[in-house]
Structure 1
Amino acid sequence: MLTVAVSLLVGGVALHASTHVFADARGYTHAVVTALLGALAWALLEPIPLIGGAVAIVTWVAIVKRRYRLGWLRATGVGVATWAAAVVVLAALELLGIGSVSALGVPGA
């Protein structure tokens, strides 16, 4: 349970950081809730045979689009920046010896 909570917080950090670049960033709590909604959508849709990954990523971007009131292009930019930020945060944690977490709510991280 602790790993899931920390992973969700890492996903929230990455999303919050990326919205400072592409959107009017809201509070960190808003980013964590958005990451949680994205993780739930990903978990439900990704297992669909053949098209699950594509449907899941479009849904994840749609959640970001809706929660931050963005267009599709900017929401996609937030997605790419969120993934990059998550990779950096996870690499830093790995260097500190904390390698058992992920970035929950960030596709591909």
Structure 2
Amino acid sequence: MLKNDHYTYRVTWSDEDNEYVGLCAEFPSLSWLAVLPEDALRGIRQVVAEVVADLKAKGEEISEPIAVSKDSGKFQSILKIAEQQIREGKGMKHADFWRELEAEKE
């Protein structure tokens, strides 16, 4: 695992996979499926650690944790909107959430 891991993680249920899926906001192309939510979180954190180590070894740019970036307020705003839509039964598709988040980063 990463030391001082400040990335933003989420675990949610996937009806399609019939398992929990671990996600990382800063690495939207990564995910980890597991029967237990704790294992999904542990799995995605391990994958992120491996990807970060690989990027460092290659001297490539590494995503900055949203929580410590200057744009973290934008992420929090999008997250609140998504949560409100879900509570109101409107929902927000996973792909739409990530698309909106990426648009805010630009």
Higher strand share: 2
TM-score, length-scaled by structure 2? 0.33
Q: Which structure has the bigger radius of gyration?
A: 2
Using CA pairs below 8 Å that are at least 6 residues apart, which structure has the higher relative contact order?
A: 1
Higher helix share: 1
